[in-house]
Amino acid sequence: MIPEALLRRPKSGFGIPINEWFSGELRDLSHDYLLGERACARGCFRPEAIRRLFKLHDNGAPQGRIFWMLMTLEEWRRQFVDRQ
């Protein structure tokens, strides 16, 4: 039922709307994670640099991948460093 050409083609990736997420449903969460009291007290991120990234993002220079990486690091710290 599936065409042979489709069965034999190489794998291909797919995009995710990460920049849209950080402009929409993840916006508040990312601000809380990266500029919240816990993150600021830890001192790993410079708040002025994070604010600059948010401003760039808001002005049309997508920063979603950077936000994702920084949030992942912050979550790792919460899970494994803060609990010690």
CA distances 43 to 14, 48, 63, 66, 83, Å, are: 35, 12, 21, 18, 17
pLDDT tier at 1, thresholds 50, 70, 90? confident
For residue 36, is it within any domain?
Answer: no
- pLDDT at position 10: 92
Do residues 18 and 65 lie in contact, with contact meaning Cβ atoms separated by under 8 Å? Answer: yes
- Tens of pLDDT, residue by residue over 37-76, are 999 998 989 999 999 999 999 999 999 999 999 999 999 9
Query: Is residue 71 assigned to a domain?
Result: yes
Domain count, the chain: 1
User: H helices within 1-84, ranges in order?
Assistant: 4-8, 18-23, 27-35, 37-42, 47-58, 64-76
pLDDT-derived band at 83, boundaries 50, 70, 90: confident
If phi > 0 it is left, if psi is from -120 to 50 it is alpha, else beta; for residue 45 that is: beta
Q: List pLDDT tens digits, range 20-32.
A: 999 999 999 999 9
Give me the domain span that covers residue 79: 46-84
Residue at 50 is within a domain: yes
The verdict on residue 52 lying in a domain is yes
